[in-house]
Amino acid sequence: MSTPLSALSNILSSRIAAIESTYAKHGATFPSMDEPFQPGLLEEDEMLCQTIDHAIAAASQLIALVKPAPRTVIEGACLFYLLASLQVVVSANLPKILREAGPQGLHIKDIGDKCSSDPHKIGRILRCLATNHIFRELSPDIFANNRTSSVLDTGKSVVALKADPVAKYDNTPGIVAIVNHITDELMKAGAYLADNVLDPQTSTSQEPADSPLSRTFHCGTVFEFFEQPGNERRLRRFSAAMHGASSLIASGEMLIGFDWALLQQDARVVDVGGGIGSATLHLMKDHPHLRYVVQDRPKVIADAVKFWENEDPDALKSGRVELKEHDFFEPQPIKDASVFFLRGVIHDWPDAYARTILKHLHASAQSDTKLILNEFLVLYVADSNNLFSDIPGADVPRAPYPLLANLGTVSN
């Protein structure tokens, strides 16, 4: 058997050859890092996606293998600077500023003027990101977007963003909202993770109000936090972020995990805790013969109305989609659902709370009502011998030697 080092090298080289061959068969070349990101049809190729995952896993594991251990842990401890830098450039609209500057880029003095910030600090932040392949430094102190940084652009003009910053994430793909949510609430909460886990009062607690985020912001649950006065922008951003997350996976697992076409005409699908209804929007586009109800807290439903009025106002007018205020810890009012659909809900709650949610749905279900949970699973790093092989379609292909069973960073 080959050594881990040579085996990883072989996986990486063979997968790269396969990727380039696939693109060549379609008369295309692999995208340049220097060009804006453009989604393509090849992203839907399941075999290509698996090949790319193997290449990513092999490359990251190869780096971990050859890099000295002290360097690995020190660099890992400094990763928060990358998150903090991302928060700055997204909050200051730097990807939009550089998009408007064009491919010739912009000097840090001009960037600083446009975002009202110190140019030297902005330069250090952009250089940190460019060193990690986010943005390009064309020549000393002159920066431009690249393929990675281009996805941090909402597509709106700088003038429009300054005129209405609250609406910054409205009607956008949601990637920027996800990044801003992570680098704001989640990064700040992450700083208190050790305090929370090692505090005897919270270390074993299963109460949502004892989370690191609750400790950070002195609040109850994250959803109560978003509804506090002054957090309107955060709530709106979170809704846009969930729309972005839904868009990233909607064409895959959510649509093929259940045969929605088997449901009868006008069967009722209830999207429980469905946010603004972005998952429902994707379902409806593929299965317009069904009727949909999106349920969530009142302030979220208020944003959902704006979302649907922009995306598909006819769906609301026709009654094909209904937006209803509902707390899923209270009895479920809909008794004739064909499907109770929960996407990314159960993983937010400890077991006792999850049971309450499901018991309310069970009490309102008919004998033929389906319960569909669309969730992410955290796979074991160790080989689990196809732990889910008894579930049709859920078995995980075995990773080739010497890759980690969960493909390492691919599972992040």
Q: What token pair was written down for 371? A: 């319960």
DSSP string, 218-259: T-SSHHHHHTSTT-HHHHHHHHHHHHHHHHHHIIIIIHHSS-
What does DSSP say about strands 106-107 and 339-343: parallel, antiparallel, or unpaired? unpaired
Check: CB of residue 115 under 8 Å from CB of residue 139: no
Question: Where do the H-state alpha helices sit in 218-374?
Answer: 222-226, 232-249, 255-256, 278-286, 298-311, 313-318, 351-364
What are φ and ψ of residue 289, in 5° steps? -75, -10
**What letter does residue 398 receive in the DSSP assignment?**
P
* Catalytic site includes residue 362: no
Burial 30-50 (b: 16+ CB within 10 A, else e): eeeeeebbeeeebeeeeebee
Catalytic residue among 26, 120, 289, 347: 347
**What letter does residue 36 receive in the DSSP assignment?**
-
What does DSSP say about strands 268-272 and 142-144: parallel, antiparallel, or unpaired? unpaired
Helix (H, G, I), strand (E, B) or coil at 403: coil
What does DSSP say about strands 106-107 and 142-144: parallel, antiparallel, or unpaired? antiparallel
Check: CB of residue 304 under 8 Å from CB of residue 323: yes
Question: CA-to-CA distance for 139 and 276, rounded, in angstroms?
Answer: 44
Residue indicated by tokens 């110190």: 118
Question: CA-to-CA distance for 241 and 222, rounded, in angstroms?
Answer: 14
Angle at 379 between CA 37 and CA 40, to 5 degrees: 20
Question: CA-to-CA distance for 257 and 249, rounded, in angstroms?
Answer: 12
Catalytic residues: 347
